[in-house]
Structure 1
Amino acid sequence: MRAFFAVLILGLAAIVTPSPARAQDPLDTTRSMIEAQIKAFLQDDSEKAYSYAAPGIKAAYPDKNLFFAMVKKSYEPVYHPGNYAFGRSRSIDNGAMIYHEVLISGRDGKDWTAIYQVIRQPDGGYKIGGVQILPDTESKGI
């Protein structure tokens, strides 16, 4: 009988004891980061938006205001999307590089596809290394 209670207590302890924290899925992590940057653009928060840029982007645009001006001029659908949704994602080399497709309806009514390239940094975190936007010329209907 004592053995039964010992097993029962150990079993309950295993259920109640929290499991070690699991590393968050890189696809979820990077998707959340892209969404945070889009929200920063929508709030005209240049400092926060710039914080998600990879070192290569920061080397090309060493000032948050230059970066923000470039995004406003060349990436209007990303800068102020009407609506957006995440499409496909792809992880390369065990998460060293991740691509996310973001489907955007611009405020002007045009549809776009933004392909985000996200790069794992030496500290294990991720930064946005680039975005390619393509006009969506074929309506898929609703």
Structure 2
Amino acid sequence: MRIAVLVVALTVGFSSLAARADDVTSAQGVIRAQEQAFVHDDATAAYSYAAPAIKQIFPAPDIFMSMVQNGYAPVYRHRSFEFGDSKTEGSSVAQRVHIVDANGEAWEALYTLEQQADGSYKITGCSLLKAGQAV
């Protein structure tokens, strides 16, 4: 009986870890797709990955793209864009991204994503700091 309980507990634990890994993979896919939309100057595609709350603030793809170009230049244009640590909590994922901008300077981005009613993830925010700066 104890072995059966242990097997069930381990199975549930591993299922939870697998689900979290799937959530992180999905979230990273959304971030990567938006990053590629920026590379191709595809405002409509980039905007499609933004959460509803972001779309309320920036009500059109061109307005959103202008904000990214002006306020998030390292995200918009960069030499490298690599995923770091991630954290899941409920239906949210926080994903760190290590960025080297077009000038060779290092940055740290923290993306936050929220799972939507349809199961997809949308980007709810991105905080950007020069590498080595305190939070």
TM-score (structure 2 length as normaliser) = 0.81
Aligned counterparts of 1:92 and 1:52: Cα–Cα separation in 2? 20
Specify the code of the residue in structure 2 equivalent to 1:129: T
- Is 2:59 aligned against 1:62? yes
In 2, Cα distance between the equivalents of 1:123 and 1:44?
A: 27
Looking at structure 2, the residues matched to 91 and 79 of structure 1 have their Cα atoms a distance apart, in angstroms, of 25
Map residues 11-90 of structure 1 onto 2, 5 A cutoff: 25-90=22-87
Q: What 5-or-longer segments of structure 2 have no aligned partner? A: 1-17
100, 106, 127: which one aligns with 1:111: 106
C-alpha distance in 2 between matches for 1:85 and 1:64: 25
Deviations 1:94-113 (A, max 9, x none): xx110000000001111000
Structure with the larger RCO, 1 or 2 (CA within 8 Å, 6+ apart): 2
Instruction: Find the aligned partners of 1:118 and 1:128 in 2 and give their Cα distance.
Output: 4
Supply the distance in 2 between the matched residues of 1:116 and 1:33 (Cα, whole angstroms).
11
SS at match of 1:25: helix
> Between Structure 1 and Structure 2, which shows a larger proportion of helix residues?
2
Q: Which residue of 1 aligns with 2:124?
A: 129
CA distance in 1, matches of 2:132, 2:25: 29
Secondary structure class of the residue paired with 2:100: strand
The Cα shift of 1:137 comes to 3.0
Q: What count of residue pairs does the alignment treat as equivalent? A: 115
Question: What is the letter of the counterpart of residue 130 of structure 2?
Answer: P
Larger Rg: 1
User: Structure 1: how far apart are the matches of 2:110 and 2:132?
Assistant: 16
Please tell me the root mean square deviation across aligned C-alpha atoms, in Å: 1.6
Q: State the alpha-carbon separation in 2 of the partners of residues 84 and 124 from structure 1.
A: 26
